[in-house]
Every structure is written in structure tokens, then in C-alpha cells.
């Protein structure tokens, strides 16, 4: 058994080696250094610079300017994508492709076949339908916000599909384009569903995490490739670090909260993998690993997720602070704070709440019918209900301002 501490230590040594090599090219900007690495999280890069300097491997004269640059607020904002799609939410692990990656994936999928299905890649589906002449593409997602958005603009070839739970649709496609959350169980569920949707001799185009994502990611990627073989998929193309992503609002807030303010650009780049379906094999669907369900309400473009957990009796619906500054310090699902989160914003602000389901129903009623809800609250509603709604509205306004400005600002919720 490999202990976690040992695994993390080995990963830190690997990152230090990458950083040491990258520094030889004398990067003057922190973003240049981060972009030269295989998808290493910027905070890990900062920690590596500190270690290398402390251990005398790289001089402080070299590391200090880079660390200072990381903390320097840029006049150019870390542009948050202002497309019309719903704001990405951390619960969905939703990173959107940069325009260059969106166009590349669209071009690749169209070169491989006519009937294309997008599994959880809204930017690619939107690009395929820009001309409104691509009626051969179909969109599947478990995120209701994206489904409702596409339907609202007249794209009806969209369906809700949970790769862990739902029966495969009867439709067959030439190409499946997908970008699962970067975890092995998610890949297995998505790939299993793709194997049911694509015909023999069709193709599956997916994105793998880069080698610097986290400890043990190389082993995880090997397991994903082996799973593809079990499903009858043959890897025909692999291109490392060629698909850049936009930095979503929730990640930008986490980086700023950690003291990284410089403009980073599209530093995260996924690895393109293309599989050909040689035969359809009967393989059992992987088990559902989801541990909780969420309800969603949207106010001023800010998406709120409320853990589906109903409390009985009289409960205080006000938001409780569970982390300093209210912003989760990471975007990883292994963060130890995640199980304690009851209310979660699209800006990665997290809170506890005694009755998240009751708060969701109250807030949804307010959003759908503000005048009626206000009357209900004024006619005997407990004071904590007023306060809880005020907190949510304040958060919605604050995060809208952050998205408009493209930068994190502290928000005190009391």
C-alpha cells in the first residue's frame, strides 16, 4: 500500500523537477512559468518555488520576482467567460473550453462523422449549432441549467442524461464528444454510456487530465485507457496538453483567495484522446458514486446549490460560515470541507445551513414570484427567513459584480 503522505511527497518532487527545468528558460512572468508546466495547479507552482528556494536548489533572486508577480494584481482581468451559457458551478466540475479548443473539437468531430453527440460539452455543442444548420448534433447532460438554456434558444435536440443512472437512449451516433469530470469513476460512467450511444466503427473523442493535475494521475489515466479496451475501444490518437480551458468564476475566486492575482490566461490544457469502437462488448455499468443530491436556484445569474436535506421542526435558515472568507480554498472534490457544505454558490462560496431544502423552497418561491413571497414573509415569517433571503440576494449581487469585473472581492455575509 502506498501511503498518501508518500504519494504527495513524490508528486511534490516531480513538480519541483518540472519547475526547476522550466526556470532555466528564465521566465519573467508567473503565468509564463505556469503555462510551461503540464497542467500543474498555480498554487502548487507557488509552493514549489518556495521549496526550491528554501532548499537552495534555485536562488531566491530567481524565485522571488516570480512569487511577487503571482500576487500582483493585473490591470488586465482574468477574463471570466461572458458567453450566454449558464455560469459554471463547482458541483458540476464544469470547466469550459477556450475558443481555440472549442473550434478544434468541433472540427475533429465533424471530420470523423456526421451524427455527433456531445456529452457534457456545452461549448462544443453551441459551436456546432452556430449556423443553425447542424441538425445532426445532439446534446446530453445531467445539468438542467444547460439543458434549459439550449431549449430556451430553440435547440430542441437536447436531453437530460445521467451517465450513472439513466438508461441509454436508443439513438446511435458516429461520434461522441465528451469531457467528463477528471476522476476515474466519472470517466468509466461516461465511457460506458458512450459505448452504448456510438455504433461500431464510430469514434469517441474525450479529454484526459494533464500529467501535472495531481498525484497518481498517470495511474488513473492508465486505468481509463484499460477501461476503454474492456469496452471495445481502441486508442487511435493521443495529443498531450493541446486543449486549453477558460478559468471559471469559482476557480478564479479560489486562486485569488489563495493570493494569486496575476492574469493567468488559459493555463489549464487537457489532453486529447480519440478512440475507435471496434466492437461493442457487454460490460456492466460502473456503480453510482454520488453521495448527495442538490437543488438549484438562480438569482442575477448566480447559481445557488442547496443540499437536498430536509430538517424537521423549527430550524434557523440563515447561512453559517464554515471556512474563512467563505470561499473554498480548492476546486478538488477531495477537499475535506466539501461534505460540510449545505449551500454553494457558482463563485465557490460555501456555507452551512440547518435547513437547506427549506431555504431552497423559500428562495425559489421568492425568485418565481417576488411580490407574493414578500407578502408571505411579511405576514408572520420568522426573522431568520428574512435574514437568510437577504444573505442570498446579497451574494447574488456580489458575485454578479465579480463576474462583470473579472476579479475576486471579499464578501462579508452576516
* Confidence at residue 29, expressed as pLDDT on a 0 to 100 scale: 94
CA 293-297-301 angle, to 5 degrees, is 130
Closest C-alpha to 125, from 100, 101, 148, 150? 150
Write down which residue in 250, 277, 304 finishes a domain: 277
Same-domain status, 29 and 146: no
Rg (CA), the chain: 22
Q: 186-200: buried (b, 16+ CB within 10 Å) or exposed (e) per residue?
A: bbbbbbbbbbbbbee
Which residue from 143, 90, 136, 100 is spatially nearest to 121, judged by alpha carbons?
Answer: 143
β-bridge mates for residue 162, sequence order: none
**End-of-domain residue from the set 15, 35, 70:** 70
Residues in the chain: 414
User: Is 149 inside a domain boundary?
Assistant: yes
User: Which of these three, 226, 250, 277, is where a domain ends?
Assistant: 277
Structural domain includes residue 49: yes
Residue 2: predicted pLDDT: 41
The burial class, CB within 10 Å (0-12 / 13-18 / 19+), for 65 is middle
* Predicted pLDDT of residue 373: 47
Other C-beta atoms lying within 10 Å of the C-beta of residue 159:
14
In eight-state DSSP terms, residue 138 is E
Question: What domain range includes position 125?
Answer: 90-277
Does residue 80 lie within any of the structural domains? no
332 and 229 belong to one structural domain: no
What confidence score (pLDDT) does residue 217 get?
94
**Domain match, 250 and 337 both:** no
361 within domain boundaries: yes
Q: Any idea what the Cα angle at residue 121 is, between residues 118 and 127, rounded to 5°? A: 85
Give yes or no: residues 110 and 241 share one domain: yes
pLDDT at 63: 95
β-bridge pairing 137-141 and 320-321: unpaired
Indicate if 103 and 230 belong to the same structural domain: yes
60 & 111 share domain:
no
- Determine, yes or no, domain membership for 76: no
Q: Is residue 332 part of a domain?
A: yes
Residue 240 belongs to a domain with what CATH number? 3.40.50.150
| Phi, psi values for residue 179, rounded to 5° | -140, 80
Number of domains in the chain: 3
CA–CA distance, 33 with 69 (Å, rounded to integer): 11
In a domain, 180, yes or no: yes
In order along the chain (414 residues), what is the average pLDDT of each group of 10 residues? Answer: 58 96 93 96 96 95 95 64 82 95 96 95 92 76 93 92 93 96 95 96 97 94 96 97 95 92 93 95 86 91 93 88 92 91 97 95 85 50 82 94 81 70
Same domain, 262 and 377: no
Helices (H) and strands (E) in the chain — how many of each? 13, 12
Based on the domain organization, do 159 and 264 belong to the same domain? yes
- Cα–Cα distances (Å) from 246 to 152, 156, 303, in that order, read 24, 27, 18
What's the distance, Cα to Cα, between the start and end of the chain in Å?
Answer: 46
Of the candidates 19, 150, 33, the one whose C-alpha atom is nearest the C-alpha of residue 83 is: 150
Task: Look at phi and psi of residue 128 and say left if phi exceeds 0, alpha if psi is from -120 to 50, else beta.
Answer: alpha
Same domain, 132 and 19: no
Residue 81 lies in a domain: no
Tell me the DSSP string of 200-262: EEEEEEEEEPPTTSSTTHHHHHHHHHHHHHHTTEEEEEEEEEEEEB---HHHHHHHHHTT--S
CA distance 255 to 43: 7
Q: Buried (b) or exposed (e) across 268-302, using 16+ Cβ within 10 A? A: bbbbbbbbbbeeeeeeeebeeeeeeebbbbbbeeb
Q: What's the pLDDT score for residue 133?
A: 53
Burial status of residue 162 (CB atoms within 10 A of its CB: 0-12, 13-18, 19 or more):
middle
Instruction: Classify the C-alpha dihedral 145-162-115-266 as positive or negative.
Output: positive
Would you say 327 and 399 are in contact if contact means Cβ atoms under 8 Å apart? Answer: no
Is the same domain home to 123 and 264? yes
DSSP secondary-structure letter at 327? B
Same domain, 139 and 249: yes
- Indicate whether 175 and 315 sit together in one domain: no
Q: Can you tell me whether residue 139 is helix, strand or coil?
A: strand
Using alpha carbons, select from 84, 118, 77, 124 the residue that is nearest to residue 247: 77
Beta bridge partners of 271: 208
**For position 372, what pLDDT does the model report?**
52
For 118, how many CA atoms within 13 A lie in the half-sphere containing its CB? 27
Amino acid at each position: 500500500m502506498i501511503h498518501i503522505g508518500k504519494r504527495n511527497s513524490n508528486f511534490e518532487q516531480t513538480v519541483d523537477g518540472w519547475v526547476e527545468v522550466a526556470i532555466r528558460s528564465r521566465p519573467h512572468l508567473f503565468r509564463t512559468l505556469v503555462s510551461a508546466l503540464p497542467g500543474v495547479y498555480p498554487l502548487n507552482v507557488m509552493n514549489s518555488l518556495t521549496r526550491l528556494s528554501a532548499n537552495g536548489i534555485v536562488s531566491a533572486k530567481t524565485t522571488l520576482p516570480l512569487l511577487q508577480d503571482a500576487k500582483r494584481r493585473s490591470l488586465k482581468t482574468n477574463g471570466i467567460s461572458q458567453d450566454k451559457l449558464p455560469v459554471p458551478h463547482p458541483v458540476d466540475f464544469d470547466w469550459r473550453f477556450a475558443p481555440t479548443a472549442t473550434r478544434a473539437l468541433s472540427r475533429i468531430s465533424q471530420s470523423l462523422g456526421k451524427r455527433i453527440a456531445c456529452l457534457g460539452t456545452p461549448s462544443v455543442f453551441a459551436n456546432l449549432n452556430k449556423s443553425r444548420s447542424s441538425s445532426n448534433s445532439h446534446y446530453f447532460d445531467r445539468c438542467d441549467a444547460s439543458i434549459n438554456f439550449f431549449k430556451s434558444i430553440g435547440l430542441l435536440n437536447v436531453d437530460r442524461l445521467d451517465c450513472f443512472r439513466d438508461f441509454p437512449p436508443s439513438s446511435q451516433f458516429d461520434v461522441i464528444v465528451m469531457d467528463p469530470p477528471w476522476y476515474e469513476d466519472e470517466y468509466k460512467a461516461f465511457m460506458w454510456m458512450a459505448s452504448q450511444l456510438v455504433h461500431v466503427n464510430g469514434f469517441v473523442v474525450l479529454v484526459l487530465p494533464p500529467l501535472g493535475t495531481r498525484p497518481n494521475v498517470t495511474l488513473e489515466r492508465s486505468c481509463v485507457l484499460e477501461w476503454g479496451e474492456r469496452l471495445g475501444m481502441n486508442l487511435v490518437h493521443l495529443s498531450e496538453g493541446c486543449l486549453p480551458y477558460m478559468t471559471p468564476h469559482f476557480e478564479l475566486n479560489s486562486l485569488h483567495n489563495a493570493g494569486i492575482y496575476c492574469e493567468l490566461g488559459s493555463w489549464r490544457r487537457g489532453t486529447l484522446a480519440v478512440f475507435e469502437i471496434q466492437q461493442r462488448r457487454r460490460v456492466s455499468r460502473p456503480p453510482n458514486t454520488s453521495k448527495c443530491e442538490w437543488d438549484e436556484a438562480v438569482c442575477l445569474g448566480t447559481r445557488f446549490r442547496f443540499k437536498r436535506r430536509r430538517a424537521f421542526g423549527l430550524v434557523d435558515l440563515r447561512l453559517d460560515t464554515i471556512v474563512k472568507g467563505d470561499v473554498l480554498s480548492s476546486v478538488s472534490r477531495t477537499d475535506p470541507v466539501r461534505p460540510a457544505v449545505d449551500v454553494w454558490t457558482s463563485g465557490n462560496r460555501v456555507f452551512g445551513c440547518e435547513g437547506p431544502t427549506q431555504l431552497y423552497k423559500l428562495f425559489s418561491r421568492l425568485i418565481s414570484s417576488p411580490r407574493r413571497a414578500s407578502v408571505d414573509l411579511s405576514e408572520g415569517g420568522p426573522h431568520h427567513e428574512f435574514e437568510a433571503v437577504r444573505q442570498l440576494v446579497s451574494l447574488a449581487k456580489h458575485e454578479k459584480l465579480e463576474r462583470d469585473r473579472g476579479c475576486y472581492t471579499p464578501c462579508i455575509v452576516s
